[in-house]
Structure 1
Amino acid sequence: MEFALPSSTSFLTVVLAAALCFIVTIIRLHQRPKRKHKLPPAPRPRPLIGNLNLIGTLPHRSIYELSSLYGPLMCLRFGSFPVVVASSADMARSFLKTHDLAFIDRPKTAAGKYTTYNYSGLFSSPYGPYWRQGRKLWQAELFNARRLASLHHVRADEVRSEHLYMVNLNVISRMVLGKKYVVDGAGSPTTPEEFSRMIDEHFFLNGALNVGDLIPWLGWLDVQGYVKRMKRSAKMFDHFLEYVLDEHDERRRRRDGNEFVAKDMVDVLLELADDPNLEVPIERDGVKGFTLDFIGGGTDTSAVTVEWAMSELLRNPEVLAKANEEMDRVISRECLVEEEDITRLPYLEAVVKETMRLHPVGPLLTPRLCREDVSLGGYDILAGTRVLINVWTISRDPDVWDAPMEFRPEQFVIAGGGGGVDVKGQDFELLPFGSGRRMCPGMSLGLKMVQVILANLVHAFAWRLVLYVHCCFVLVLDCVVSFLFF
């Protein structure tokens, strides 16, 4: 058997490779071992899906059950991404106050891309100059006390509307858009029924667990059909918003000299978009994104809270009687309740707080994204981790609330109880609007709307619960008789 001698080039290559391997080995031997991260307690994830098999159709309830096993700070894996969940007031304070800046970002999702004009709205935009500028504009120009006060007459007029959903929609339309665009008849870009479906679809798609967001390499399949629905929803809203902006642009073009005065929030946004001194320009999509935030955030949320409040009052007639007694004592029967009356109705305010405690519109706050490695509660939270705050669990914590599963407004008015707890983001036991820099900027308006609408519903009508049991018994009996004799 003959062996060929290696060439000088091949031999040199082998020697260099061996030397390189030797050097790398020596360096590794002398390097200090990397610090092992201490992650929060977690259930064992499955391949590909992580812990998604543990999440049911109501994610906040599934996470509530998991937190009873793994504690107030736990780590889950949703597909390809780690997720940390806070389920106590102390943990929420750590994320939303102590380390707010580290957890201020938003994860990018298909909903943010397709339904909010490529993250052009305030709620979905990532942390950076655009978001910081938008937050300042909301606070200084759009939701300041002076502007809300100047539009008091709009809210006072619309509280007389016949339908709960239309009260909120009409108030938001007149404050934000300048008039009621959602009406029956010619000249309207949409009908109330169609617009209600659009809002419902928008809320659903922005809250749904989209597989493509969690397992990116499966995103192109759109296995749930959500992306297709997002695109259709975005097209419908864009048609509506283009109609609104075109009318506003036409009115601005007809102005005489510099005498044009903004009369609604879209006017303000269009003026801001023309401001050359803005740090980041607001394009037309930005105006539409902010406008959609106004409409979506102010319409359905208030109506749902009032519905929950009335449901609880009807289920608890003794609470309804106390609310009525307070109204009769403070306000004449012949008068509607005004916004300035609310401070004289502490029990009604307690009813609203208790409703928001038991039935937060967003049981899981909008997800946040960790921007840097953080040590929290003795555990390591790594950059890129998604963060969920389960306010539904926090508001049912037996260490904080007496009889947490019962509807008891008294705990917000009794000294020494929850009377000092408010909903404005400073008390982490109750976070219906969130907290920190990312909390809902429309909180003041939303709270006014819920309080005034609920007060007038209670004050102006005599309410009682229909006895469905008797009706159901009669229906069942009728079915049995029909089956037996026909």
Structure 2
Amino acid sequence: MEFQLPIIIFLFIFSCCYLSRKWLKIRVVSELKKVPSPQGSWPIIGHLHLLNKAGKLPHHVLGAMADKYGPIFMLNLGSRPALVVSNWEMTKESMCINDAAAASRPELSVSKNFSYNFAMFGLASYSPYWRDMRKITHLELLSIPRVDQVKSVMLSEVMTSLKELYTRWGGKKKEMEEISVEMKRWFGDVTVNMLLKIIIGKRCVGPNAVKEDENDALELQMRIRESFHLMGEGLLRDYIPLVAKLGFNGHVKAMEKIAKRIDVVLERWLLEHKRKRSANDFDQKDGDFMDSLISLCHAKELPSYYDQDTIIKATTLNVIAGGTESSTVTLTWAMSLLLNNPLALEKAYQELDQVVGRDRQLKESDIDNLVYLQAIVKETMRLYPAGPLLGPREFYKDCFVAGYFVPKGTQLIPNIWKIQTDPRVWPDPFEFKPERFLTTHKDVGLKGNNFELIPFGTGRRGCPGITFGLQMVHFALAGFLHSFNVKSPTDKAIDMREHFGMANEKVVPLNVLVTPRLPLHLHGPIVM
């Protein structure tokens, strides 16, 4: 008993101190200024039912809430608190001033399956692994010097796709002067060819592509798109633990199947690269992005948090998924807006004629001089950002935003669409006016330094591929408009309804009529 008594006394004192500090912390937190929260939170599900309004997109619903409750408010998404910010001031507070606290990602089951258990750095939590892989990807692919090196590859792929489109027109010109093109598919094929040429060293879609390669590329496109839809919808099991306990996991199983099909394609490409490297004719100078990752693996410069093959496949998927969907969505919206605004389309054609002319093809150096076309892209991203709510962030430590206490574990949801249509910043906010970026807003850029326009996000979790993605969009849009006249097949306005997901897709396919606008010899010979 004499030996046990001091231990009992120590444990008693320690417990009292611990409980006292815990009670004091709870009391202090309870007295802190709390973020306003909309009425209507229900037990268990919180505010989730408010986001599920028939016919209304979540970013529009949250925008209406901001009009009522202000530019910063807190939602209870089941068991998860979420901070919604809706103007540039609150964006700066949460994503810049508190960047270090809001640099993580929520670990959602739908993200887990798509990302090789979070080996995909874009969906990984804030950690040394995330920092290492973001740095490696930036150096090997996304830095300005690396983008400058692959510009010629991008433009070459665009030109090849334009020649293929010209061949389609040539094959039907005896029947009609115009041919119909579904632009989402065409832009999707162009962007995936640009990316795959740079990432795995070959174009995979088109009449001259190897059938197996084309099947793999189209499979990957489709599965990424399905994954984005599932991630945009979210899973109730991630927000309501009771759903998971009751075994409702249909979406999880669907995502697992999609992930397996994606892995089959990536595994095949990885094995091809390994076989090529084992051959005597492999030249590292001709290597692509996947080759760079394999070389880093051999040099033991990749992190050891995951299996090395998993890191290579996850990082490759990260770049492909991030580049194809956002670029395709942006290009489709840009063309839709131009068709609904014929004066802007005519100005784009006039600029192309002045800068490039019709006696030669587009060159890399022309893009810097196509200022109106760049303004079109900016205005498109302002009105129809590819991710209206960005990817969800999470505060991994307590902080204060605009004087309000935000506890660790809170999700951060920036309503990019609401921020970029704020009438205080953007006169006639819902009008398509590219000219604003040549006059009143000429100094507003896309790189996250101007918080009133952040389609790529900002801060540590901002998209690292801004320069890369913009080059792809500029080349594809400029190349298409320079080479073809385009018009709507009807006199009706283009349907601009949106389908919400991780990528903000257009609901109705964009079918247009095209005819060549350059001398026929510049398009190249028709391949019959």
Deviates more, 1:193-202 or 1:291-300: 193-202
Distance 1:237 1:365 in 2: 23
Distance 1:335 1:73, change over 3 A: same
Q: What's the counterpart of residue 364 of structure 2? A: 339
Letter in 2 for 1:115: F
Q: What's the counterpart of residue 348 of structure 2? A: 323
Q: What's the counterpart of residue 381 of structure 2? A: 356
Letter in 1 for 2:459: G
Q: What's the counterpart of residue 168 of structure 2? A: none
SS at match of 1:271: helix
**Counterpart pick for 1:41 among 21, 36, 43:** 36
Distance 1:294 1:55, change over 3 A: same
Per-residue deviation, residues 74-108 of structure 1 (Å, max 9, x unmatched): 00010101100110111111122111010001110
Q: CA deviation at 1:136?
A: 1.1
Q: What's the counterpart of residue 53 of structure 1? A: 49
Q: What's the counterpart of residue 434 of structure 1? A: 457
Gaps of 5+ in 2: 1-11, 166-185, 494-528
Structure 2 residue 99 is the aligned partner of structure 1 residue 100: yes
1:211-360 to structure 2, matched below 5 A, reads: 211-221=236-246, 223=248, 225-255=250-280, 260-261=284-285, 263-278=287-302, 280=304, 283-360=308-385
Distance 1:94 1:38 in 2: 16
Distance 1:371 1:126 in 2: 9
Deviates more, 1:179-188 or 1:377-386: 179-188
1:102–1:372 Cα contact (<8 Å) kept = yes
2:204–2:214 Cα contact (<8 Å) kept = yes
Letter in 2 for 1:306: L
Deviates more, 1:178-187 or 1:230-239: 178-187
Q: What's the counterpart of residue 64 of structure 1? A: 63
SS at match of 1:380: strand
Letter in 1 for 2:430: M
Q: What's the counterpart of residue 222 of structure 2? A: 197
Q: What's the counterpart of residue 180 of structure 2? A: none
SS at match of 1:294: helix
2:151–2:471 Cα contact (<8 Å) kept = no
The CA RMSD measured in Å over matched residues stands at 2.6
Letter in 2 for 1:270: I
Structure 2 residue 115 is the aligned partner of structure 1 residue 116: yes
Q: What's the counterpart of residue 523 of structure 2? A: none
Letter in 1 for 2:446: V
Per-residue deviation, residues 250-272 of structure 1 (Å, max 9, x unmatched): 1112247x964461000011111
1:78–1:214 Cα contact (<8 Å) kept = yes
SS at match of 1:83: strand
Q: CA deviation at 1:195?
A: 3.6
1:173–1:181 Cα contact (<8 Å) kept = yes
1:92-171 to structure 2, matched below 5 A, reads: 92-160=91-159, 161=161, 162=165, 163-171=186-194
Q: Which has the higher contact order (CA 8 A, sep 6+)?
A: 2
Per-residue deviation, residues 186-215 of structure 1 (Å, max 9, x unmatched): 443725543432221122123222101111
* Structure 1 stretches of at least 4 aligned residues deviating more than 6 Å after TM superposition: 30-33
Q: What's the counterpart of residue 444 of structure 2? A: 421
Q: CA deviation at 1:37?
A: 2.9
Q: CA deviation at 1:60?
A: 1.0
2:110–2:234 Cα contact (<8 Å) kept = no
Q: What's the counterpart of residue 82 of structure 1? A: 81
1:129–1:280 Cα contact (<8 Å) kept = no
Deviates more, 1:210-219 or 1:362-371: 210-219
Gaps of 5+ in 1: 1-18, 471-486
Q: What's the counterpart of residue 467 of structure 2? A: 444
**Counterpart pick for 1:389 among 414, 418, 421:** 414
Deviates more, 1:170-179 or 1:259-268: 259-268
Deviates more, 1:331-340 or 1:388-397: 331-340
Per-residue deviation, residues 329-385 of structure 1 (Å, max 9, x unmatched): 111113332332111111111111000000000000111111221112121111111
1:86–1:389 Cα contact (<8 Å) kept = yes
Letter in 1 for 2:324: T
Distance 1:445 1:95 in 2: 26
Q: What's the counterpart of residue 180 of structure 1? A: 203
Q: CA deviation at 1:185?
A: 5.2
Distance 1:280 1:90, change over 3 A: farther
Letter in 2 for 1:155: M
Letter in 1 for 2:475: V
Q: Which has more radius of gyration?
A: 1
Percent identity over the alignment?
37
Q: CA deviation at 1:112?
A: 2.1
Distance 2:469 2:273 in 1: 25
Distance 1:150 1:208, change over 3 A: same
Distance 1:79 1:335 in 2: 59
Structure 2 residue 372 is the aligned partner of structure 1 residue 372: no
TM-score (norm 1): 0.86
Deviates more, 1:229-238 or 1:181-190: 181-190
Deviates more, 1:259-268 or 1:436-445: 259-268
Q: What is the number of residues matched between the two proteins?
A: 446
SS at match of 1:234: helix
1:446-465 to structure 2, matched below 5 A, reads: 446-465=469-488
Distance 1:83 1:33 in 2: 20
SS at match of 2:412: strand
SS at match of 1:372: coil
Distance 2:426 2:405 in 1: 30
2:45–2:77 Cα contact (<8 Å) kept = yes
1:211–1:224 Cα contact (<8 Å) kept = no
1:106–1:124 Cα contact (<8 Å) kept = yes
Distance 1:33 1:455, change over 3 A: closer
Distance 1:227 1:278, change over 3 A: closer
Q: CA deviation at 1:303?
A: 1.3
